[in-house]
A and B are shown apart, each in its own frame.
Chain A
């Protein structure tokens, strides 16, 4: 049957679909209410609902297709974007940023160690929980120890070959969810 899914992904898929349907229902209700009152709906609410809907759609895709999102964090914005683009071309959803932001569920983090010093306690805890793939220009023991303290699942030395990064991503995925 076309609609059959593996039993392991079904609960996550059902939950993601539920969230998507709930959000769409809220959006529809807001529009129906505005129509019956003959008023204009609040555009910011509608946009927020749509943003939620896309986020839940993403959850559906993650559950259905095993998609992985990669967040590439590097203070060299050009390098971060180049890496993210390379990953996108290999089928990964990848986003580049020059500073760590909130880490979403089912997101893998590629983190440039030079940014570690600027992390506050909350960001450091979240990053450590995400077991990032750490990239660095340094190979000294101190850097390795710093990466280990950040819960690094892998440690790659710059410039990182895309193939090596993908291998590290696959190893991290094989570990399962954090």
Chain B
């Protein structure tokens, strides 16, 4: 069962949230400060973190930045719990820092559990093995092979290939690729998607595997 870490500077709030998640079958640890959260992650990385935005020692963006430690994506999903609601646009700050999702405190238990399930499901789908024709992708090991030949792919192109290959024949939009692979909504990253597609085609030595659907996105087409 997935391990969750609940971080909230109010111990009772943290413990109640943890209890609610335990009753849904999760293994849950609690931290009552940003510093303690970072220490717990260092000792035992969770599968998902629920992080209070407003804490006295450090706010969520600082925790997220420290967790990323220079990497451009977090190793596990983080859902921000926030008590303050502002105008649209304020949460853009979370995109920069890599948060997966936001939940307003007081949101119904079923909604909270659904968001946790959703974030964990996306993580799980990133770790399975996909076989399509002679192509085999093992995301957990960071490897893709075509027949006996290992493909030289960087992490992002490999993730993009896996996402496309998990839905053969389906057009996957650039926005979804950006969200799922690059962890961003910003259109400014779109050239990265094109470069990744180029790298995938070159590695597969056959452009037909990845079809460009102009103005929309890309489609994986299994080749014999």
Contact = CB atoms under 8 A, between A and B. Distances in A.
Is chain B's interface secondary structure helix, strand, loop, or mixed overall? mixed
Contacts of B217: 159
Nearest to A66: B87
B56 interface: no
Interface residues of B, number: 31
B89 A61 contact: no
Highest count of chain B CB atoms <10 Å: which of A82, A95, A161: A161
Interface in B183-205: 185, 187
A107 interface: no
B85 A89 contact: no
Interface string B153-186: 0000000000000000001111110011000010
Interface of A: 51, 54, 57, 61, 65-68, 81-82, 85-86, 88-93, 95, 158-163
B175 A162 contact: yes
B88 interface: yes
B191 to A, nearest CB: 15
A54 B112 CA distance: 15
Contacts of A68: 88
A92 B171 CA distance: 26
4 A-B pairs closest in CB distance: A159-B173, A91-B88, A91-B91, A161-B175
Given A89-B99, A90-B185, A159 B86 contact: no
